[in-house]
Structure 1
Amino acid sequence: MDLTFTPLDPAAHAELLHGWLATERSRFWGMTEHSPAQVFAYLDRIAASEHEQGWIGARDGAPLVYVETYDPAHLLPDGLLAPEPGDLGMHLLIAPPSGTPEHGLTAAVMGKVVSWCLHERGAARVVVEPDERNTAVLAKNAAAGFRVLEHVLLPEGAGAKRAALSVCTRADFDASPLGPGTRPTAHLRPDTGERAHRHLVAKALAELSHERVLAPEPDGEGGFALGVPGTEVRYHFSARVLPLEHWLIDPVSITRTVGGARTPLDVQVLVAELQDVLAIPDGLLSTYLEELASTFAARCATLDEGRRGERPSAEDLLCADLPQIEAAMTEGHPGFLANNGRIGFSLPDYRDYAPEQGRSTRLEWVAMRREQSHLALGEGLTEEDHAVWSLSPEERHALEGRLAGRGLDPSDYHLMPMHPWQAEHRLPITFAPDIARGDLVPLGAGGDEMQPQQSLRTFLNRTRPGAPYVKVALAIQNMGFLRGLSPHYMRDTPAINDWLAALVAEDPELSAQGFRVLRERAAIGYTGDAYHRTRTTNPHRKMLAALWRESPAAQLAPGERAFTMAALLHRDHEGRSFAAAMLRASGLPPEQWLAGYLRASLRPLVHLLLAHDVVVMPHGENLILRVREQQVVGAFYKDIGEEMAVVGHRPLPDGMERVRAVVPGEEKALSIFTDVFDGVLRHLAGILDADGILPADRFWRQVAGVLDEYEADHPDLARGLAGDVELRTGSFAHSCLNRLQLRNTLQMVDLGDQSSSLLHAGRMANPVARVGVSTGRPPSGC
């Protein structure tokens, strides 16, 4: 059915609609006794309203349907519906039959109107509130995919009825009988699945060979073979091995054969058949396979979006801002195979909250009784300052008003944001006793639209540019951890951030390289639950906490933009590299561009270690690069409270001893070797080599050159404060990330003693070793 919609014209349409509304079938509109003048007045109010619109839908030029759309946040009573971005309310009135009733007309009109609301009016969710006695409309709503949230009593101004408050998302409608028949799992097709499996198998072979778990054997010129012990299964592929034992595998070349017969690639099959080689415990294999399935599903989704032209190319990102680039990224951690586990998310959750979906949401808020919670503030920040910084005036007024409306004094409570998933799945169940006794008071959604970042539980504020990032607890299993936040750790977080920020700001070397810190200025946590009374710690203690971090937006100079360092490792859905596109667009020789990036990112991290005995975890998400004219000119470091350590004996302020982890010099150097060289630069070198931009040997010579520059500028610091750090050594301990996850998919390391939790596979030749220094590399093995 084709319908065309035109805006309501009360003068032109009042007589027509009066005839429609006067019929018995329109009784639920409550206007059967209205006079023409009353109908005109009603329509005139709709046309003049800022938050309501009227529409006439015509088929072949003949009016067939009247539709009202409205903003539920303004027209539904407060507290009735938790608003979401893109909500659109809808009322529907179909013309009475003029002759023989047309079979299926109502269903066809309903489907067309809902599709129009979602796809032409731009709604993310359609909201309806039909009278619960209107069983015919309720049936049509259900057929269109509407889900009844609850039965509510609407007051006189909203229609004075008991209504079935219902919502319908695009996914709901697409999967409904009246929808286009699109399956929610339409992205899981054989062709897309084959591409995703091939990508993940290539990554598995590359990273597990890099970690020396697998040992492929040369098999002809440029070819390798890997056999599954005790079977006739063999994998064949073409590859080059670059410095740091980085396996550059051609995915197209990979084949799997059984007894010589070619079979499909499947990353779960690969892992399951190599379980003994990978040393995955029997009790944890299924969990790891589920994380792989989730990673596979996410890959299929982004490949399908790319096929439909819905994902940006690498070139599209050259002028994109940080939120756009965050939403464009799809790979997750470059080293981990199962990097998008997200166990606990449903498919709708994935679409709502996965960073690569780029959707905005609103955080939920909960009030916590002060005696059962704590709010830690950075130096010079008062509670009032924090309230102004973290909440818009409208949000603060609304949240405090909701408390006061329940007879509670807002001054007796702290306000904490929560991930919507956490608020739905954990707050009302896991903490039901705390809500019942009034120590926790759910307050509903805030007003600011927030976009999840690649770190999944961190949100950027899209409504108020420059407002703080918010990091919240999220009790889902992802990449070897339950993604909680510890209230215990949160107590000291602002003070630790202030200390490191002061150290960075006062250091001329760091200032010269444009290196800054994004401070976590405030942190909050709840400890009044039963889980904090157990004898030992447990994951439930990390479900109610949050922190607020400075945004880089307010610190960018004119002409600058920012994105995480992880973006330099991004390839788009066609395999094109963002780093290569950026380097070409800069117009600089590759070595010059690379040197600028290394001075802004590597050199400050080396200086923190050698001059201050401070190590950080600078994986791709924790460094935000400042870029001007496609050149990296500086960097922000973030995520300090949980991922910074002092590895020497320098004095620390009271309350900061928990960050001290004194280790020998060789282990200090691993903060550069493992986290920077192996975790980031190895992958960037592989990308630039594979794309024909810069051979890997020249890449690593440039890295060595930047270290030489630093040593020339600071000869007294070349070996660190204690003289025990050597970054130009011949080899270093080969720390393995996937081995950690394979050993324990539920908790890779003990966060209280990360050093002793690590797994090493012998030693790795240092690509920046001084000429003439022996690599000292023994045979492979743990």
Structure 2
Amino acid sequence: MTFVTDTPLGELTIEPVDPERDAALLQRWLADPASAFWQMSDLSVAEVHDYLTGVAADPHQDAWLGRLAGEPVLLAETYDPRHVLLPGSFDAMPGDLGMHVLVAPRAPGAEVLHGLTDAAFGAVMRFCLTDAPGARGALRVVVEPDARNAAIAAKNAAAGFRVLRDIALPGKRAVLSLCDRADFAASPLGSVGTDAAPLASHLRPDLADRAHRHLVAKAIAELAHERLFLPARADGTNAEAAATHDDALEYTLVAGEATYRFWARRHLLEHWIVDEASITRTVAGDVARVDALEIITDLQSVLAIPENLLPVYLEELSSTFASACAKLEREAARITPDAPSLATLLIEGDPAEAFQAAEAAMSEGHPGFLANNGRIGFSLSDYERYAPERGARMRLVWLAARREHTHLALGGDQTEDGLYGSELTGADRAAFASRLRARGLDPADYLYLPVHPWQWEHRVAITFAADIARGDLVPVGTGGDEYQPQQSIRTFLNRTRPGRHYVKVALAIQNMGFLRGLSPAYMRATPAINDWVADTVHGDPTLRAHGFQVLRELAAIGYTGDAYHRTSTPNPYRKMLAGLWRESPLPRLREGERAVTMAGLLHRDAAGTALVTELVRASGLDAAEWVRRYLDAYLYPLVHCLLAHELAFMPHGENLILVLKDGAVSRAFVKDIGEEIAVVGTRQLPADIERVRAVLPDDERALAIFTDVFDGVLRHIAGILAADGVLDEREFWALAAETIDRHAADHPDLETGVDLRSATFAHSCLNRLQLRNTLQMVDLTDQSGSLIYAGEMANPVARVRALVE
């Protein structure tokens, strides 16, 4: 069937190539100097005929002829990248289509047809990406042009292609690039001959309804968990706060004039699993839309958000909603792999590619916080460039910061030359130095500071304009390495050289109750804190036996030469020019191992399939054994650190990197040490890291496990496994109790007043913190004193059996 499309130059058709009919014509096109990058200029007509016949006989590729007003104007080839040209170089997915296009060279003396290349290229892209009659119906198009072909690079960019990386292919160094339907629709070529391009294609009703329902379900579940309200049983039965039931029951929630009805299951730790599709909302008896923003205004009197901060919270929630829509769109387009594909990658895939595919696939953000993707300050284009779930790569901007106003703190085994020698290429350092010399400046007087491109454009070049003008800060360019943002958004993994360190930079956007800056004052002690924690952990034989390791923040830099550091009181502007380098987990992986953020265990894809469920099934292990190994790698070391060393981490999903072998957890790496650890007792510390001490009574020490591990992580995993029929939650918590008891049995001489099998523990509430002050949830100098509690929570591993029945 012939494909037909309109172009600015008229109707263009695309039909299969006929080798008998077309060989002579296409041989003339291929022999033209303009077609040199096809590498077929020396073929005879007979050889071109044989080539086209071979393509026609191959079930994985096709050749096509395009005609404008009946005259041949283009040759296109399409192929399945899973079988042709790219196996081993690109992890193709169903719906991917490879493409080559050649626009007919202008014949000598022929009239120039302006706009032909754009018209032809756009027509071929529509042919590849639409479901129209005769079209290929692909979800994504992949191309691999010669890296030297600047003309096609420009045309690819105009069609919405995103560069992935350079790859080696026979006869060329190729630029692997990808374009999905949304990319093309929003591109200059995609909008030609159509209605205005959808600049926010993810904000459409079908995706919006799913995103709203997900967030409303989460709002009901997490706010009920924090005891801000207790939904009532629809049948009038008394709904107790700690009730549990494995089967879904119907509930109602009265919120102002609105009433919500829904079905839910309830689990230990007052964990609710709300059926998103079941939610209905009525206002004054009339059916109303289910809307994530409306439930907050419906509940305003209950939530008690300060009036002046309510719009800020709604903006953070709006941003979270928008990103949820975008995540759904990307998975529907198969840009983001689903949970089964991720599980396969995490068993068989390239370690770096699998690690980052999972990092970009996470759909939830923080499992407890409702407004968890605020990112106030990002535009739509910023979101597309820099949000972790976009999986895009970018280059850091580098500033030369005058040494006398800048502090570089180094771990005990680090040197300045060694750090910059490994993190910047020789070409980078030479270019930076030459730019300084060109301004009459001595490179020896400066240190190099990494900066987020957004931070440079929106903050540094404006807010620190005076520092740049006087030469205390000198922009020296972008580095050569490409980086990918991680779940924490301001931390980046080096994709060009994956064995190099993470880089963490300041990013002055508002997100989850904080401006995401980095304090130069805090950075001074960061490497020393990390050295001490690493020495403590790596020097402990129990922790070594469990494979528990620290990813050190081994260098940190901060600039303090600005006027904001000379004001009388601290302010957010003091946290806008700092960075650090952290060890990557990838060089520590052994043969057959893969890394994944622990947040991955909380991930459900758009179809509702859980990654943890897929990993359990793929591992071939009994579910209880899989969980036992996970707890042995995660819970046991954290219990040991607390009880043996008075050391408490912030071990949530994004701060733990799990090591998988054949789909099962074998060990764990902990990160984000400098700002998120505490020594909760009186043990001796080096003087320069005394700031991490926070002496707490035994019951508050225990919250390092109860709040951060049980409530913050394990209740969600237990709920997923129970909902999926993989493991009963009582058995899950019995395994957690077994882990704690095994640690006690292994260390009978360890004296501690911390009781992790107590009947109850204080119920610390996260959303209440953000609702109280969405601009600064806690005072970082007194985090314990900033917490909000809602009574006592029944401990799911309590010695009293009745508490878990």
Partner letter of residue 211 of structure 2? Answer: A
- Residues in 2 aligned to 1:521 and 1:687: alpha-carbon distance in whole angstroms: 36
Deviations 1:314-352 (A, max 9, x none): 111123221111011111000000111111111111111
Deviations 1:263-284 (A, max 9, x none): 2100100101211110111111
1:236 aligns with 2:269: no
| CA displacement at 1:310 relative to structure 2 | 2.6
SS at match of 2:688: coil
Q: Aligned residue for 2:274?
A: 249
Deviations 1:166-204 (A, max 9, x none): xx9984426744578540212211111111111110000
Q: Aligned residue for 1:301?
A: 326
Partner letter of residue 748 of structure 1? Answer: M
After TM superposition, list the pairs within 5 Å mapping 1:371-770 onto structure 2.
371-717=404-750, 720=752, 724-770=753-799
Q: Aligned residue for 1:215?
A: 230
- Residues in 1 aligned to 2:645 and 2:473: alpha-carbon distance in whole angstroms: 42
- Residues in 1 aligned to 2:159 and 2:593: alpha-carbon distance in whole angstroms: 47
- Residues in 1 aligned to 2:412 and 2:400: alpha-carbon distance in whole angstroms: 24
Aligned pair in 2 of structure 1 residues 683, 66: CA closer, same or farther (>3 Å)? closer
- Residues in 2 aligned to 1:331 and 1:142: alpha-carbon distance in whole angstroms: 31
Aligned pair in 2 of structure 1 residues 281, 94: CA closer, same or farther (>3 Å)? farther
- Aligned residues of 2:455 and 2:508 also touching (Cα < 8 A): yes
Deviations 1:574-604 (A, max 9, x none): 1100101111111222111111100100111
- Aligned residues of 1:175 and 1:181 also touching (Cα < 8 A): no
- Residues in 2 aligned to 1:119 and 1:97: alpha-carbon distance in whole angstroms: 33
- Residues in 2 aligned to 1:338 and 1:253: alpha-carbon distance in whole angstroms: 22
Aligned pair in 2 of structure 1 residues 714, 348: CA closer, same or farther (>3 Å)? same
- Aligned residues of 2:187 and 2:197 also touching (Cα < 8 A): no
| CA displacement at 1:59 relative to structure 2 | 4.1
- Residues in 1 aligned to 2:456 and 2:493: alpha-carbon distance in whole angstroms: 18
| CA displacement at 1:395 relative to structure 2 | 2.2
- Unaligned 5+ segments in structure 2 are 1-11, 41-63, 77-100, 129-139, 162-182, 238-248, 346-353
After TM superposition, list the pairs within 5 Å mapping 1:202-351 onto structure 2.
202-220=217-235, 222-229=249-256, 231=257, 233-320=258-345, 321-351=354-384
- Residues in 1 aligned to 2:737 and 2:270: alpha-carbon distance in whole angstroms: 18
Partner letter of residue 518 of structure 2? Answer: L
Q: Aligned residue for 1:188?
A: 203
- Aligned residues of 1:143 and 1:177 also touching (Cα < 8 A): no
SS at match of 2:399: strand
- Residues in 2 aligned to 1:626 and 1:421: alpha-carbon distance in whole angstroms: 32
- Aligned residues of 1:237 and 1:255 also touching (Cα < 8 A): yes
Aligned pair in 2 of structure 1 residues 508, 263: CA closer, same or farther (>3 Å)? same
Partner letter of residue 223 of structure 1? Answer: E
- Residues in 2 aligned to 1:762 and 1:469: alpha-carbon distance in whole angstroms: 40
Partner letter of residue 189 of structure 1? Answer: R
- Residues in 2 aligned to 1:682 and 1:544: alpha-carbon distance in whole angstroms: 38
Partner letter of residue 622 of structure 1? Answer: N
Aligned pair in 2 of structure 1 residues 59, 527: CA closer, same or farther (>3 Å)? same
Aligned pair in 2 of structure 1 residues 14, 736: CA closer, same or farther (>3 Å)? closer
SS at match of 2:634: helix
**Residue from 102, 105, 108 that aligns with 2:119:** 108
| CA displacement at 1:774 relative to structure 2 | 8.4
Using structure 2 for the length normalisation, give the TM-score: 0.79
- Aligned residues of 1:311 and 1:573 also touching (Cα < 8 A): no
- Residues in 1 aligned to 2:594 and 2:195: alpha-carbon distance in whole angstroms: 41
| CA displacement at 1:506 relative to structure 2 | 1.1
- Aligned residues of 1:108 and 1:178 also touching (Cα < 8 A): no
Aligned pair in 2 of structure 1 residues 269, 428: CA closer, same or farther (>3 Å)? same
- Residues in 2 aligned to 1:13 and 1:107: alpha-carbon distance in whole angstroms: 18
| CA displacement at 1:715 relative to structure 2 | 2.1
Aligned pair in 2 of structure 1 residues 382, 91: CA closer, same or farther (>3 Å)? farther
| CA displacement at 1:569 relative to structure 2 | 0.5
Select between 168-177 and 213-222 the one with higher mean Cα deviation.
Answer: 168-177
Aligned pair in 2 of structure 1 residues 430, 91: CA closer, same or farther (>3 Å)? farther
- Residues in 1 aligned to 2:115 and 2:423: alpha-carbon distance in whole angstroms: 52
Partner letter of residue 265 of structure 2? Answer: R
Using structure 1 for the length normalisation, give the TM-score: 0.81
SS at match of 2:409: strand
- Residues in 2 aligned to 1:441 and 1:693: alpha-carbon distance in whole angstroms: 56
SS at match of 1:173: coil
- Residues in 2 aligned to 1:91 and 1:426: alpha-carbon distance in whole angstroms: 44
Partner letter of residue 677 of structure 1? Answer: F
- CA-based RMSD: 3.7
Aligned pair in 2 of structure 1 residues 468, 293: CA closer, same or farther (>3 Å)? same
- Residues in 1 aligned to 2:428 and 2:416: alpha-carbon distance in whole angstroms: 16
Aligned pair in 2 of structure 1 residues 116, 191: CA closer, same or farther (>3 Å)? closer
- Aligned residues of 2:517 and 2:575 also touching (Cα < 8 A): yes
Count of aligned pairs between the two proteins: 687
Q: Aligned residue for 2:79?
A: none
Partner letter of residue 776 of structure 2? Answer: Q
Deviations 1:3-23 (A, max 9, x none): 8999xx99967998xxxxxxx
Aligned pair in 2 of structure 1 residues 145, 362: CA closer, same or farther (>3 Å)? closer
Select between 362-371 and 212-221 the one with higher mean Cα deviation.
Answer: 212-221
Select between 472-481 and 219-228 the one with higher mean Cα deviation.
Answer: 219-228
Aligned pair in 2 of structure 1 residues 63, 623: CA closer, same or farther (>3 Å)? same
- Unaligned 5+ segments in structure 1 are 17-39, 49-55, 68-89, 130-137, 147-167, 776-782
Partner letter of residue 598 of structure 1? Answer: L
- Aligned residues of 2:103 and 2:120 also touching (Cα < 8 A): no
- Aligned residues of 2:642 and 2:648 also touching (Cα < 8 A): yes
Aligned pair in 2 of structure 1 residues 398, 201: CA closer, same or farther (>3 Å)? same
- Residues in 2 aligned to 1:192 and 1:736: alpha-carbon distance in whole angstroms: 30
Select between 685-694 and 249-258 the one with higher mean Cα deviation.
Answer: 249-258
| CA displacement at 1:257 relative to structure 2 | 1.4
- Residues in 2 aligned to 1:286 and 1:194: alpha-carbon distance in whole angstroms: 22
- Residues in 1 aligned to 2:471 and 2:36: alpha-carbon distance in whole angstroms: 47
Deviations 1:724-750 (A, max 9, x none): 211111111100000001111111111
Partner letter of residue 207 of structure 2? Answer: T
Aligned pair in 2 of structure 1 residues 285, 94: CA closer, same or farther (>3 Å)? farther
Select between 763-772 and 510-519 the one with higher mean Cα deviation.
Answer: 763-772
- Residues in 2 aligned to 1:531 and 1:611: alpha-carbon distance in whole angstroms: 42
- Residues in 2 aligned to 1:744 and 1:280: alpha-carbon distance in whole angstroms: 8
After TM superposition, list the pairs within 5 Å mapping 1:347-366 onto structure 2.
347-366=380-399
Partner letter of residue 337 of structure 2? Answer: P
